[in-house]
C-alpha cells in the first residue's frame, strides 16, 4: 500500500508562485494614433469588407510642413512610389512639393493631375531609352544616372539635360537597406561625370540614399563627405561647379522600434553639411521623402481568419489575417519593418505567430519577432495595422490566389 502525501497550504502556495503568470494585454495605441482618430477609423470600418487601407491626409500635410520647418534649406521631391494615391499626390501638389518619379506611368499620373514637368526628376537609374525620350518629350530635364550605358542613352534621348550621379552606399543601420543595386563607386562616378561632359550633358550634382528607415544618422555624414570630395575634384580638375546634392530619403516613420525625432535628424544633417562644405553649400539640396511623408498616415484594417496550433503542445498559436505579404505587407520580408498591430479585447497577453491568407508558405509576417494579442481575441475580430501609409498598397499583388489589390479610403477630416 502506497502512502499518499498530503500537501500543506503553504507548500501549495509556493508551487503557485513558480508558475508563470501572464501579463494583461496592453498596447500603447496613443504612441501611434490619437484615441479620437482611432475611434473614427473604427466607426468608418464598421461596414467595410476587409482588408483595406485608410489614409489620413491631415498627417501627410503635417509631415510635409514639419519637413519644411526643420529642413528649410531643402527642396522636397516626394517619392511617388511610396504612396501614389491621387489624393496624396494632389495634396502635395497643392502644398508645393516636387516629385521623384520612377517610371513613365508615374509621370503620366502626375501630368494628369496637372503637375508641371519642371517639378519632377526621373529618379530611377534603371530606365529604357524610349522612356528617357518620353520624359524628355514631356518636358522633364533632370535625370539620375549611375552607369556608362545609361549616360549614353541619356545623351541620345535627353540631349543637354541636367544629370546627377548616384553614389553606391551601404545603408548600414537601415531597417530596409538598399543593397548594391543602385549607385556607383566614387571612382566610377568620376568617369561618368567626364563622359557626361563629352556627350553634351550637364553634370549637375551628386545623389545618394542612406537606406530606408535609417536609424544611423551618421550614414548622411559619410555620404556627404564623399560628395564634397567629388565637388572639389570637379571644380579643380574639370573646372565645373556641381550645383546639386540629392540626399534621397531615409527619414523614419513611427514603427515599433523607436527612432530619433525629425528635428534631431535635421540638426545633425545640417552640421554634416557644414563639416563637408563649410560656408558655401551646394546651390540646391534635394530630399526625397516617401516613408516619412506617408507612413504614419495609414492604417490597414484586417480580420482574423483563423487561430490554430500545429501540435497539442505548441506554445504559440498561429493567427492568420486576411492580409499578408502579397496583399501589401511585403516589407515584413525578413521581418525588416515591424508594424505596430493593435487587437481590441481583454485578458492576458498571448504571444502569437502572424501569417497571411495565401497558399504560399512564405506568406508569414512575424515568426521570430514577439507579437501579442489579448486572450479574448477570436476568429472574425478586426485587427489594426498601424503606420502602413507607405509601401503597402503600391506593393500589393494583382490577384495572387485571386485576392484583389488592397483597397484604400481617405479618412475625412474631423472638421468636415
Q: How many CA atoms lie within 13 A of 75 on its CB side?
A: 16
The answer to whether residues 147 and 277 belong to one domain is yes
In a domain, 319, yes or no: yes
- The count of domains in the chain is 2
Cβ–Cβ < 8 Å for 165, 189: yes
Cβ–Cβ < 8 Å for 269, 232: no
Find the domain containing 332 and state its range: 22-53+296-410
In a domain, 73, yes or no: no
Please choose, from the candidates 68, 42, 34, 101, the residue with its C-alpha nearest in 3D space to the C-alpha of residue 293: 68
The answer to whether residues 283 and 375 belong to one domain is no
Rounded to 10 deg, the angle between the 148-157 and 129-138 helix axes is: 40
SS (H, E, C) the chain: CCCCCCCCHHHHHHHHHHCCCCCECCCCHHHCCCHHHHHHHHHHHCCCCCCEEEECHHHHHHHHHHHHHHCCCCEEEEEHHHCCCHHHHHHHHHHCCEEEECCHHHHHHHHHCCCCHHHEEECCCCCCHHHHHHHHHHCCCEEEECCHHHHHHHHHHCCCCEEEEEECCCCCCEEECCCCCCCECHHHHHHHHHHHHHCCCEEEEEECCCCEEECCCHHHHHHHHHHHHHHHHHHHHHCCCCCEEECCCCCCCCCCCCCCCHHHHHHHHHHHHHHHHCCCCCCEEEECCCHHHHHHHEEEEEEEEEEECCCCCCCCCEEEECCCHHHCCHHHHHHCCCCCEEECCCCEEEEEEEECCCCCCCCEEEEEEEEEEECCCCCCCEEEEECCCCCCHHHCCCCHHHCCCCEEEECCCCCC
The answer to whether residues 279 and 374 belong to one domain is no
Averaged pLDDT of the chain: 93
Over range 207-213, report the average pLDDT.
90
Q: Identify the residue whose cell numbers are 500500500.
A: 1
The answer to whether residues 311 and 197 belong to one domain is no
State pTM to two decimals. 0.93
In a domain, 303, yes or no: yes
In a domain, 68, yes or no: no
Among the three residues 289, 322, 351, which one is the final residue of a domain in this structure?
289
The answer to whether residues 273 and 310 belong to one domain is no
In a domain, 63, yes or no: no
CA distance 107 to 96: 17
The answer to whether residues 266 and 315 belong to one domain is no
The answer to whether residues 153 and 257 belong to one domain is yes
In CATH, what number is assigned to the domain containing residue 194?
3.20.20.10
Lowest mean pLDDT among 192-206, 208-222, 269-283: 208-222
The answer to whether residues 155 and 88 belong to one domain is yes
Quick check: bond before 51 cis, omega within 30?
yes
The answer to whether residues 200 and 115 belong to one domain is yes
Q: pLDDT of 325-375, one tens digit each?
A: 999 999 999 999 999 999 999 999 999 999 999 999 999 999 999 999 999
SS (H, E, C) 152-205: HHHHHHCCCCEEEEEECCCCCCEEECCCCCCCECHHHHHHHHHHHHHCCCEEEE
Which pLDDT band holds residue 5 (cuts at 50, 70, 90)? very low
In a domain, 119, yes or no: yes
CA distance 376 to 370: 18
Among the three residues 289, 311, 334, which one is the final residue of a domain in this structure?
289
What's the grid cell of residue 219? Answer: 550614414
The answer to whether residues 137 and 279 belong to one domain is yes
The answer to whether residues 331 and 245 belong to one domain is no
pLDDT at residue number 62: 97
Which pLDDT band holds residue 202 (cuts at 50, 70, 90)? very high
The answer to whether residues 114 and 209 belong to one domain is yes
Among the three residues 289, 317, 332, which one is the final residue of a domain in this structure?
289
What's the grid cell of residue 303? Answer: 480580420
In a domain, 415, yes or no: no
Which pLDDT band holds residue 416 (cuts at 50, 70, 90)? low
pLDDT at residue number 218: 86
CA distance 14 to 279: 70
pLDDT at 15 over 70: no
In a domain, 75, yes or no: no
Which pLDDT band holds residue 413 (cuts at 50, 70, 90)? confident
Amino acid at each position: 500500500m502506497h502512502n499518499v502525501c498530503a500537501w500543506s497550504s503553504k507548500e501549495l502556495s509556493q508551487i503557485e508562485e513558480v508558475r508563470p503568470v501572464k501579463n494583461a494585454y496592453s498596447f500603447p495605441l496613443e504612441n501611434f494614433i490619437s484615441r479620437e482618430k482611432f475611434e473614427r477609423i473604427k466607426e468608418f470600418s464598421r461596414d467595410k469588407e476587409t482588408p483595406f487601407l485608410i489614409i489620413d491626409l491631415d498627417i501627410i500635410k503635417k509631415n510635409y510642413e514639419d519637413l519644411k520647418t526643420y529642413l528649410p534649406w531643402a527642396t522636397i521631391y516626394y517619392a511617388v512610389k511610396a504612396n501614389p494615391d491621387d489624393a496624396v499626390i494632389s495634396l502635395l501638389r497643392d502644398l508645393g512639393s516636387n516629385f521623384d518619379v520612377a517610371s513613365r506611368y508615374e509621370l503620366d499620373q502626375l501630368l494628369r493631375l496637372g503637375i508641371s514637368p519642371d517639378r519632377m526628376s526621373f529618379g530611377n537609374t534603371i530606365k529604357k531609352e524610349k522612356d528617357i525620350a518620353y520624359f524628355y518629350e514631356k518636358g522633364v530635364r533632370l535625370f539620375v544616372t549611375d552607369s556608362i550605358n545609361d549616360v549614353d542613352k541619356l545623351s541620345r534621348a535627353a540631349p543637354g539635360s541636367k544629370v546627377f550621379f548616384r553614389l553606391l552606399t551601404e545603408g548600414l543601420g537601415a531597417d530596409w537597406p538598399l543593397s548594391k543595386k543602385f549607385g556607383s563607386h566614387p571612382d566610377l562616378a568620376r568617369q561618368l561625370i567626364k563622359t557626361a561632359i563629352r556627350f553634351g550633358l550637364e553634370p549637375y550634382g551628386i545623389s545618394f540614399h542612406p537606406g530606408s528607415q535609417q536609424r544611423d544618422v551618421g550614414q548622411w555624414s559619410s555620404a556627404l563627405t564623399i560628395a564634397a570630395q567629388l565637388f572639389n575634384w570637379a571644380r579643380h580638375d574639370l573646372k565645373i561647379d556641381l550645383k546639386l546634392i540629392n540626399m534621397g530619403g531615409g527619414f523614419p516613420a513611427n514603427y515599433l522600434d523607436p527612432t530619433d525625432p525629425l528635428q534631431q535628424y535635421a540638426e545633425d544633417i545640417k552640421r554634416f553639411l557644414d563639416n563637408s562644405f563649410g560656408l558655401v553649400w551646394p546651390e540646391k539640396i534635394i530630399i526625397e521623402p516617401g516613408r516619412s511623408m506617408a507612413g504614419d498616415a495609414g492604417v490597414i484594417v484586417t480580420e482574423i481568419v483563423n487561430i490554430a496550433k500545429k501540435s497539442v503542445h505548441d506554445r504559440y498559436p498561429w493567427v492568420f489575417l486576411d492580409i499578408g505579404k502579397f496583399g501589401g505587407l511585403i516589407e515584413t520580408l525578413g521581418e525588416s519593418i515591424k508594424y505596430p498591430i493593435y487587437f481590441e479585447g481583454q485578458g492576458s497577453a498571448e504571444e502569437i505567430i502572424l501569417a497571411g491568407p495565401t497558399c504560399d508558405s512564405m506568406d508569414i509576417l512575424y515568426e521570430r519577432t514577439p507579437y501579442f494579442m489579448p486572450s479574448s481575441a477570436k476568429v472574425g475580430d478586426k485587427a489594426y495595422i498601424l503606420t502602413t501609409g507607405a509601401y503597402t498598397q503600391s506593393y500589393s499583388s494583382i490577384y495572387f490566389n485571386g485576392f484583389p489589390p488592397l483597397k484604400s479610403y481617405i479618412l475625412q477630416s474631423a472638421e468636415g
